[in-house]
Amino acid sequence: MSTFRSIEELVKILEREKELLKEMFAKRKSLSFRYDYALEMTEYKEARVRYLIDYGVIRDTGDFLEMEDLYLKFFED
């Protein structure tokens, strides 16, 4: 897993993917956030979804995506 080099990089990525992350957070209890819906929300730019996975913001569980526990806890608190 890759790591963010700075707070600025983390904030920039969270801002860029704000709509996707808001939607994932809202649907966190249903565990039904489809990978293809994430692609749609990122203008079908798979590299953006892969970046979030590679940097440990979200995880791929097959056809579905979930927010990593660290970020869920941060946003819930």
Rounded CA-CA distance 45/27 in Å is 21
Residuewise pLDDT in 10s, the chain (77 residues): 799 999 999 999 999 999 999 999 998 888 779 999 999 999 999 999 999 999 999 999 888 999 999 999 998 98
pLDDT tens by residue, 27-47: 888 877 999 999 999 999 999
What is the share, in percent, of the chain residues with pLDDT greater than 70? 100
C-alpha 23 chain-centroid distance: 10
> Which CATH number describes the domain made up of 7-76?
1.10.10
pTM over 0.75: yes
Q: Which two tokens stand for residue 23?
A: 């939607």
Rounded CA-CA distance 61/77 in Å is 25
Report the 10 Å Cβ neighbour count for 51: 17
Rounded CA-CA distance 54/2 in Å is 6
